[in-house]
Structure 1
Amino acid sequence: MASADLKDELTCSICLNLYSDPVTLKCGHNFCRECIESVLDTQKGSEAYSCPECRAKFQECPVLQRNTTLCKGSPNIVEHFISQEEHEEVFCTYCIHTPVVASKTCLTCEASLCDLHLTVHSKSPEHVVIQPTKSFKNRCSHLKKPLMYYCTDDAECLCISCCLSEEHRGHKISSQIEAFKQEKKQLKIIEGRLIQEREEINEQIQRLQDQIMHIREKAAGIVERVGVHIGDIKKKLDSLGRHVLNEISKQQEQMSLSISNVVQQLESKEDNLSRKLATIEELCRMTDPLLYLQADKDDFTDMMGDNDPNLKEIEIDDLAEDLIFKNLNSVMVNIMSDLQEGYYVQKASGIVLDLNTAANDVHISDDLKTASWSKINQSRPEIESKRFEDSNVLSTNAFSKGRVYLDIEVSKEGAWRVGMAYQSISRKGQYSFIGNNSKSWGLRSCENQYSIRHDQKEIPLACRPSCYKVRIYLDYAAGLLSFYELGDSMMRHLYTYNATFTEPLYPVIAVWDNAWARVLN
């Protein structure tokens, strides 16, 4: 058992054999020099190197330190273990009471024999007798001869006699060592591919997890902004409601006061009439003509012979309901107009290219909508700090608020970039191209492959161009700049930048190698 444990400690985890020229990584794990060098070779070009045992990461290819403990001495620990294994005593299988050293081993019986038991052992040719050994795995099951060869066609280990048999005639036969090396070589290639594939999967997983976080953050931002907008609407509607209710209450109070004054006048007039009626009733009850004629009738003199009471109809103004609702609707329209600029997405219109910024290898169409790469120098006059040295052209329009989008038709041939840039972008040198600086953000198409670029950092996109229209969407306040591909039946999202914009953004186009791009309004 102790021997087995020691063997495990001296076994390389890559080739599963005893160490050959053992070396140690920084993490403390040991490997055959040839094995670990092959693994590290497959990791070249990746972001980091890793230990096959514990997956410890190394930014640079680790220096392989020779394991002096395993290698020291002559023979060293590994060689000494092999030597001990080879010279370990083998005991007779049949001497069960007292161990007796075996003198021979029969491969047919798979038993070891001392001199005594060997004398009574079968002398038949079928029984192959060799020097004492504990291992029967490296012998042919048919002829009991050492397995020294390998049939690639049948994936089978063979002895020399089996190699010459009819069963394996014409097959590809090689030595075990050669087959072992070839298979190990292929296995290492496969291992490298699997490691690379695993790393790509991990990168995709990380990218998708980052996208999930981005979507969560974006959703939270949208929820917050929607809450702010709804809160603004509520505040303005509450203020409008209070104003309208106050106006209604004011009109009601004014109309009620006016009507109350008329009622008071009518009540006073009614009291006067009631007093006169009482006097008339008293006069009508008189029977003495003298007293009646001498009575005071001055209050009724004007009314004698007049059949028309001459009462005028009093007209009172009603509440101005139509005016109230007209003002209400007008204020609500103003509220929605104020919110529209900050909430609704508008299509950019009137976008034209600025001829004063166009490089002399870019032809601009008469309607200032299309930029095309040109072999012929356009020989435009130099305008200080305005004209690009190569390939680029800005638009005359800038955006510093709200949400807008614009569509651009692009060519199938050549290479192009479209995006947004600050007016302060460099005009000369390699840092003037879209995405080669911190002042521009762009979508690039080259050799049928999309990528996005900003501040000299380029990220290839997994999807390939499937149509020739792209959309640029800008939410300036939220710091979002998105690129989409516009198909006939659907729109495909390509990438979204998150940034804090500090200057107005101008649409920008760059074209090379017969490419062109046209702004669609």
Structure 2
Amino acid sequence: MAQSLKEAFTCSICQQFFSDPVQLPCSHVFCQHCIQPSDSMREDFLIECPSCKAQLRGNPVRALELCEPCNSLKQHWGLLEMELYLTDEVRSMREDVRLDPSTAHSLLLLSCDLKSVQCGTISHNTEPDASRVPQLVSVLGGPSFSMGCHYWEVEVEGHEWALGVCQESVDRQCKGDVSCEQGFWIISKQAGEIHAHSLEPPELRAIPDLRRVGIFVDVEFEVVKFYNVDNKFCVYIHQPVPSCEPLRPFFSLGLPREGAPAASLSILQ
């Protein structure tokens, strides 16, 4: 989204944000100094459009409707990049997140260091536990967060998974799809597509190779962000995320498919 916005306000000649943008009769826009040297201000000015190669006569028209938004974008681009891209500052807030065995679904196999989990086909620890969410093949993480900023990264393998945070007091007996209405702020992969479980689910860009996900929580600003760690692009932002009670890291894996490798995830160091 940020890159598309930048491209829409970038001159294809100088590759910079538009400066005094002008529009040719063919509708393509360029900086005035790029397309129209000062000694060519005359009515019989003839030019070939650099984009479509059309032969055009006459002076370009100033694109007034682009001037204000372009100036604003130039002024705030640094902040916008920080908002939409994974920065070193965010990664410096990394937490030592570990899986909580008491909350793990009976089909999940946790590693000894509580950093990895795999979904199997045989149930373990079948005794009922009020800490689990029995309708979801999921496990919660720790610690819980009630203030400050926190970040962790997860590498996922499998056709279905869900990551994010949930409220400490989330209804453990919830049924069906999970969403922010139920106290879950997550993204998930289903049928090869990435979904945001929000009140008005947006159309997210296709990310077929999303395997390393960064999760950032700012409790005071009530925001949860999800990043594609490989290209540092922000995949989705949940906001507001109520800070009235602690939030727990949330992890879920899809059930194994016949003939396919078991789904797994690892919390990266």
TM-score by length of 1: 0.32
Q: Please state whether the residue corresponding to 1:454 is helix, strand or coil.
A: coil
1:477 aligns with 2:225: no
Q: Secondary structure at the match of 1:483?
A: strand
- Residue among 364, 374, 378 paired with 2:110: 364
Of 192, 196, 203, the residue aligned with 1:452 is: 196
Query: Following TM superposition, where does structure 1 have runs of at least 4 consecutive aligned residues deviating by more than 2 angstroms?
Result: 343-350, 433-438, 457-460
Q: What corresponds to 2:237 in structure 1? A: 496
With over 3 angstroms needed to count, the CA separation of the structure-2 counterparts of 1:496 and 1:461, relative to structure 1, is: same
Asked if residue 438 in structure 1 is aligned to residue 186 in structure 2, the reply is no
Q: Is 1:409–1:469's contact at 8 Å kept on the other side of the alignment?
A: yes
Q: Which amino acid is 1:418 matched to?
A: L
Q: C-alpha distance in 2, partners of 1:510/1:458?
A: 19
- Distance, in Å, in 2 between the alignment partners of 1:503 and 1:471 is 22
Cα distance change, pair 345–365 in 1 and its aligned pair in 2 (3 A): closer
C-alpha deviation, 1:480, in angstroms:
1.4
The question of 1:519 aligning with 2:263 is answered no
Letter paired with 2:170:
I
Contact 1:434/1:454 (8 A) holds in 2? no
Partner of 1:391: 137
Alpha-carbon contact 1:392-1:509 (below 8 Å) kept: yes
Letter in 2 for 1:491: K
Counterpart secondary structure, 1:356: helix
Which residue does the alignment assign to 2:99? 353
Distance 2:167 2:174 in 1: 17
Alignment of 1:225-304 (within 5 A): none
The 5 A counterparts of 1:405-416 are 405-411=151-157, 413-416=158-161
In the aligned structure 2, how far is the partner of 1:345 from the partner of 1:501? 22
Q: What RMSD, in angstroms, separates the aligned Cα atoms of the two structures?
A: 2.8
Counterpart Cα distance in 2 of 1:458 and 1:408: 23
Whether the 8 Å CA contact 1:346–1:403 is kept in 2: the answer is: no
Give distance in 2, aligned partners of 1:437 and 1:394. Answer: 18
Q: CA deviation at 1:430?
A: 1.6
Which residue identity lines up with residue 246 of structure 2 in the other structure? P
Choose which of 231, 248, 252 in structure 2 pairs with 1:506.
Answer: 248
- Whether contact under 8 Å (1:346, 1:404) holds in the other structure is no
Provide the C-alpha distance between the structure 1 equivalents of 2:239 and 2:174, rounded to a whole number of angstroms: 26
Task: Give the Cα separation in 1 of the matches to 2:180 and 2:222.
Answer: 20
2:171 touches 2:182 (CA, 8 Å); kept in 1?
no
Could you tell me how far apart the structure 1 residues matched to 2:211 and 2:97 are?
A: 19
Which structure would you say has the larger RCO, counting Cα contacts within 8 Å and 6 or more residues apart? 2
Q: By how many angstroms is 1:371 displaced? A: 2.2
Instruction: Name the structure 2 match of 1:381.
Output: 127
Match for residue 428 of structure 1 among 159, 166, 173: 173
- Give the conservation status (yes or no) of the 8 Å contact 1:345–1:403: no
Counterparts of 1:408 and 1:459 in 2: how far apart (Å)?
Answer: 23
C-alpha separation in 1, matches of 2:217 and 2:141: 15
Compute the TM-score of the two structures, normalised by the length of structure 2: 0.59
Alignment map for 1:29-428 (pairs within 5 Å): 346-383=92-129, 385-389=130-134, 390-411=136-157, 413-428=158-173
Kept in 2: contact 1:430–1:436 (CA 8 A) = no
1:364–1:491 CA distance, 2 compared to 1 (3 A): same
Pairwise CA distance, 1:494: 0.7
Q: How many residues align?
A: 180
- In the TM superposition, what whole-angstrom CA distance separates every residue of 1:94-125 from its partner, at most 9, and x where no partner exists? xxxxxxxxxxxxxxxxxxxxxxxxxxxxxxxx
1:63-112 CA-to-partner distances (Å, cap 9, x unmatched) read xxxxxxxxxxxxxxxxxxxxxxxxxxxxxxxxxxxxxxxxxxxxxxxxxx
